[in-house]
C-alpha cells in the first residue's frame, strides 16, 4: 500500500514533517495577526466616539455598572446624564463588546425609523424559552410577515369589542379594593392592578378566564410571576447569562417548571379552542348551547379573542403551526399585562401626588359620566382627553421601557459618527423624555404638555413610550383603552393619595420600569369625602 502511495503522489508533494509544521505555524500566526489587526482597527474606530476608556481588556467597563439591581438604573442614567456634554453619543464596553448610548430625538429617529435596523439586542434571548420567536423577539422576513398578519388583530372595531372585558374586570378590581378597605385604607395597589390586567389579557388574547383576581394562587399566575423574575434576574446577573452556566443554577430548575405550566396551559387552550370552533362551524345550534357552558376554555358570547384571529390566519397549519400560534399568544400574555400594570400604577401614583390634577380629572369624569354608575363606552373613552394626557405624562416620566436595545445590522452614521455593524445601541428613553429642549422643567408632572397645542411642534421622536417607526408597539391603542377604563373606574369610586414621594421610590429596570416596593396609596370612597 505504501509503495502504491509513493508511486501515485509526486515527490514534490511529499514534504518533511518539519516543513508541514512550519507552514501550519505561519498560517496560524498569520490568522492571529489578521484577527489582532482587525480588532485594533475596530477598537480605534469605536474609541473615536466619546465615552469611557476601554476595549483593550476582556473586562471592559463592566465593573462600572456591576451594582445591585436597585442601583443599576440610577448608576446608568447618572453616568449618561453626566457625560452628555461629551457629545450626543456615548460609548462604553461591556466586556469586549462595544455598546453605545443614544439619548437625542435625532438619534432615535435614525434607529427607530429604519426598516433595516430592527434586530433586538442579545439581552432579549432570555425571553426565547418562553416566547420563542414571536413578534417581540423575531426579526427579518418572519417579523415582517407576522407584523403584517397581526396588525389586523388590533383594528379599532375589534378593540371596541374588548371594552366589555375591560369593564367587567375593572368592576371586579373595584370589589377587591373595597374589600381591602375594610381592613385598612392604605396599601400597595400594584398587586391588585397586576391580577386585573392578567385577567384582561387572558380573556382578550385567549378567550378564557383564569380568574386571577379571585384565585391569585393559581398555578398559571405563579408561573407568569416566576418567569418574569427569572428573566429580570438574568439581566442583572452576568454569571447566569450564558446558557451553559444558567443550567447549573436554581433559576434553570424554576424556569423548566414554569414553562411546563405556561406552555401546557396555552397548548391546551389552543387545542380546545380549535375543537370548539370546528364543532360550531358544523352545528350552529350546538355552538349556541356550548357558549353558555361554564367551561373556562369555551368562547364567551360571540366576541373573538386574538387567538381566534390567529387560528383563522393559520389556514389549518399551512401558514401557522400550533407552535407558531402559541408563541404569539404567549407574547401577547407577556407584553399585555406587565406593561399596562406599570403604566396604570405610575399614573395612579402621580395623580395621587398632585391633588389639582386629580381635581381636573374628577371634573372630566363628572362631565362624561355624570352621576350614572355605568360601564365606560368607546364614546366615553374618546371624551377622556385630560385623563389621556395624564397617562401620557406618566409614561414620559416613567417610560415602560426605559432602555430600548438594538443590534446594528450595518454601519450606521449618527450625529456624524459611524457606529460599526454588529454592535449594540441602547436608546435611553428615560433620558430622552427629560430633555429640557422638548420638555421644559422636565421633572415636573404637567399633563398639559400633551394638549394638542403644546405637542404640535415637538420633534416626532422626542416622546416614544411605545417605541416608534415600523417596530412600534402593535398594542398601544389596546393598552391606552384598557388604562382609561381601569383608571376611570378607580377614580370614579375613590379619592387617591400617594403615600411616598418620588425621590423615595426605588426603580428597577426589569425589561419594564417598575417600583421595587410597589405603589402605596391611601384610598377613600368618594361618598365619604366631605
Average pLDDT over residues 307-313: 86
Candidates 354, 324, 289; CA nearest to 496 is: 354
Candidates 108, 113, 103; CA nearest to 442 is: 103
How high is the pLDDT of residue 369? 95
Examine the pLDDT at 459 and tell me if it is beyond 70. yes
List 403's β-bridge partners, or say none.
Answer: 428
Of the ranges 121-130, 188-197, 353-362, 489-498, which one carries the lowest mean pLDDT score? 121-130
pTM here is: 0.87
Which grid coordinates belong to 239? Answer: 454569571
Distance of CA 38 to the CA centre of its chain: 36
List 498's β-bridge partners, or say none.
Answer: 521
3-state DSSP assignment of residue 281: helix
> Which tens digits make up the pLDDT trace of 69-89?
787 788 888 878 777 777 889
pLDDT band at 361 (very low <50, low <70, confident <90, very high): very high
pLDDT band at 296 (very low <50, low <70, confident <90, very high): very low
Percentages of the chain per state (helix, strand, coil), in multiples of 5: 60, 10, 30
Which grid coordinates belong to 524? Answer: 377613600
3-state DSSP assignment of residue 65: helix
How high is the pLDDT of residue 529? 46
Candidates 176, 188, 249; CA nearest to 216 is: 176
Of the ranges 50-64, 160-174, 377-391, which one carries the lowest mean pLDDT score? 50-64
Contact (CB, 8 A) for 194 and 484: no
3-state DSSP assignment of residue 102: strand
> Which tens digits make up the pLDDT trace of 312-344?
888 777 788 889 999 999 998 888 888 999 999
**Helix boundaries (H) for 202-249:** 219-236, 243-246
> Which tens digits make up the pLDDT trace of 225-269?
888 888 878 877 778 888 888 998 999 999 999 999 999 989 988
Q: What is the DSSP string of 362-387?
A: HHHHHHHHTT------HHHHHH-HHH
Average pLDDT over residues 391-404: 95
Beta carbons within 8 Å of 159's beta carbon, 6+ residues apart: 477, 478, 481
> What element of type H or E holds 17?
helix 17-47
How high is the pLDDT of residue 280? 66
The Cα 123–Cα 231 span in angstroms is 10
List 51's β-bridge partners, or say none.
Answer: 91
> Which tens digits make up the pLDDT trace of 363-392?
999 999 998 899 999 999 999 999 999 999
Position with higher pLDDT, 346 vs 510: 346
Q: Kindly state the percentage of the chain with pLDDT values over 90.
A: 47
Amino acid at each position: 500500500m505504501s509503495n502504491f502511495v509513493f508511486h501515485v503522489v509526486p515527490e514534490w508533494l511529499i514534504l518533511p514533517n518539519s516543513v508541514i509544521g512550519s507552514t501550519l505555524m505561519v498560517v496560524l500566526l498569520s490568522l492571529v495577526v489578521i484577527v489582532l489587526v482587525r480588532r485594533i482597527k475596530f477598537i480605534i474606530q469605536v474609541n473615536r466616539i466619546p465615552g469611557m476608556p476601554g476595549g483593550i481588556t476582556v473586562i471592559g467597563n463592566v465593573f462600572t455598572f456591576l451594582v445591585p439591581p436597585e442601583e443599576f438604573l440610577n448608576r446608568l442614567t447618572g453616568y449618561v446624564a453626566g457625560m452628555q456634554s461629551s457629545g450626543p453619543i456615548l460609548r462604553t464596553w461591556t466586556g469586549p463588546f462595544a455598546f453605545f448610548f443614544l439619548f437625542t430625538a435625532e438619534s432615535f429617529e435614525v434607529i427607530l425609523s429604519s426598516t433595516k435596523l430592527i434586530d433586538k439586542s442579545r439581552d432579549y434571548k432570555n425571553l426565547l424559552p418562553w416566547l420563542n420567536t414571536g413578534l417581540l423577539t423575531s426579526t427579518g422576513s418572519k417579523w415582517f410577515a407576522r407584523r403584517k398578519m397581526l396588525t389586523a388583530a388590533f383594528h379599532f372595531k375589534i378593540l371596541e369589542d374588548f371594552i366589555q372585558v375591560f369593564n367587567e374586570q375593572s368592576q371586579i378590581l373595584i370589589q377587591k379594593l373595597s374589600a381591602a378597605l375594610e381592613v385598612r385604607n392604605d396599601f400597595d395597589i400594584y398587586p391588585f392592578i397586576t391580577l386585573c390586567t392578567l385577567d384582561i389579557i387572558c380573556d382578550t388574547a385567549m378567550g378564557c378566564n383564569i380568574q386571577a383576581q379571585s384565585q391569585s394562587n393559581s398555578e398559571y399566575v405563579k408561573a407568569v410571576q416566576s418567569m418574569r423574575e427569572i428573566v429580570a434576574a438574568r439581566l442583572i446577573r452576568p454569571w447566569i447569562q450564558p446558557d451553559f452556566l444558567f443550567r447549573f443554577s436554581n433559576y434553570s430548575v424554576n424556569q423548566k417548571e414554569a414553562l411546563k405550566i405556561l406552555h401546557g396551559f396555552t397548548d391546551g387552550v389552543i387545542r380546545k379552542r380549535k375543537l370548539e370552533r370546528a364543532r360550531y362551524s358544523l352545528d350552529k345550534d350546538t355552538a349556541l348551547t356550548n357558549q353558555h357552558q361554564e367551561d373556562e376554555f369555551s368562547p364567551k358570547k360571540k366576541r373573538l379573542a386574538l387567538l381566534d384571529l390567529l387560528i383563522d390566519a393559520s389556514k389549518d397549519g399551512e401558514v401557522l403551526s400550533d407552535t407558531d400560534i402559541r408563541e404569539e399568544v404567549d407574547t401577547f400574555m407577556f407584553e399585555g399585562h406587565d406593561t399596562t400594570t406599570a403604566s396604570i400604577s405610575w399614573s395612579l401614583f402621580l395623580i395621587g401626588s398632585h391633588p389639582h390634577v386629580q381635581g381636573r380629572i374628577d371634573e372630566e369624569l363628572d362631565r362624561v359620566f355624570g352621576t350614572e354608575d355605568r360601564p365606560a363606552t368607546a364614546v366615553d373613552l374618546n371624551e377622556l382627553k385630560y385623563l389621556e394626557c395624564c397617562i401620557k405624562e406618566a409614561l414620559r416620566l416613567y417610560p415602560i421601557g426605559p432602555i430600548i436595545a438594538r443590534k446594528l445590522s450595518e454601519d450606521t452614521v449618527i450625529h456624524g459618527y459611524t457606529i460599526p455593524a454588529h454592535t449594540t445601541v441602547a436608546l435611553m428613553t428615560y433620558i430622552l423624555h427629560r430633555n429640557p429642549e422638548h420638555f421644559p422643567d422636565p421633572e415636573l408632572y404637567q399633563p398639559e404638555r400633551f394638549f394638542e397645542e403644546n405637542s404640535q411642534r415637538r420633534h416626532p421622536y422626542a416622546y416614544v413610550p411605545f417605541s416608534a417607526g415600523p417596530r412600534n408597539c402593535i398594542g398601544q391603542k389596546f393598552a391606552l383603552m384598557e388604562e382609561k377604563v381601569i383608571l376611570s373606574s378607580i377614580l370614579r369610586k375613590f379619592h387617591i393619595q400617594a403615600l411616598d414621594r418620588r425621590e423615595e421610590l426605588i426603580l428597577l429596570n426589569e425589561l419594564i420600569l417598575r417600583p421595587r416596593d410597589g405603589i402605596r396609596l391611601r384610598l377613600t370612597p368618594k361618598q365619604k369625602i366631605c
